[in-house]
Amino acid sequence: MEKINLKQIKSSLPETPGIMWSRHYRKASILVPLIKVKDEFHLLFEVRSKNIKQGTEVCFPGGRFDSEKDADFQDTAVRETIEELGIDEDKIEILGQFNTLVHHMGMLIYTFIGILHIDSTSKLSLDEKEVSSVFTLPIEHFRKNGPEEYTLRLEAKPEIIDNKGGKVTLLPVKKLGLPEKYTLPWGSNNHKVIVYKSTYPVIWGMTAKIVSEFIGSLS
């Protein structure tokens, strides 16, 4: 095997740097839907059906990338919006791709901004298995009412206790010869949580972060 040379190293560098280790992340896409209400742009939100994961919480339309159905991440956002809101594809206008959210739970959220060309939300036919209701709020509401910030404490744990009370070793620290300090939880990093308490239902978490970033990008 020949030794690696400088030319090979240079040619291995990406034209556009990506997100390292992204192949190990779950991938999803969401659409931030805009709808015009009385000559003013609103954001449209979904309230999840109570019997699904994170039921009753506020979100944007979206879901997991499906390589069998989607050519790219924009396809995912459009497909999920059609399925969840019961809207025709020709009523969705994608304005462009926004920033990607690297979620602390190991997921990449590809975000797209688009306009729904409908007169009112009554034109939608919601998938009741996933969406219990929708509501809209003016962009100006979020420009005038910023979010509150809270923190969660995240720790790396080399061992956990399972549902039966047994100890499960995730990282065999001693066996690997790692420093003794890693036998105990470490990190203790604060994770910022964004909450819009000025709305009902409350908008928080990933959805609130996307709202905050989008509103902050507007001049």
Domains in the chain, number = 2
Q: Cα separation of 203 and 211, whole Å? A: 9
Domain of residue 165 covers 152-187
Looking at residue 200, its pLDDT comes to 85
Looking at residue 217, its pLDDT comes to 96
Q: Cα separation of 142 and 195, whole Å? A: 12
Question: Do residues 53 and 85 share a domain?
Answer: yes
Whichever domain contains 105, its CATH number is 3.90.79.10
**Separation in Å, CA 28 to CA 25, 102, 131, 189:** 10, 11, 18, 25
The model's pTM is: 0.89
Q: Cα separation of 210 and 47, whole Å? A: 16
The DSSP element (H or E) to which 119 belongs, if any, is none
Q: In this structure, what token pair is assigned to residue 100?
A: 């990607």
Residue type, 28: A
**Separation in Å, CA 216 to CA 38, 143, 192, 202:** 23, 8, 17, 19
Q: How do strand 26-37 and strand 107-116 relate by DSSP bridges?
A: parallel
Looking at residue 6, its pLDDT comes to 95
Looking at residue 216, its pLDDT comes to 96
Question: Do residues 114 and 209 share a domain?
Answer: yes
Per-residue pLDDT of the chain (219 residues; tens, 9 = 90+): 789 999 999 999 999 998 999 999 999 999 999 999 999 999 999 999 998 888 899 999 999 999 999 999 999 999 999 999 999 999 999 999 999 999 888 899 999 999 999 999 998 999 999 999 999 999 999 999 999 999 998 889 999 999 999 999 999 999 999 999 999 999 877 889 999 998 889 999 999 999 999 999 996
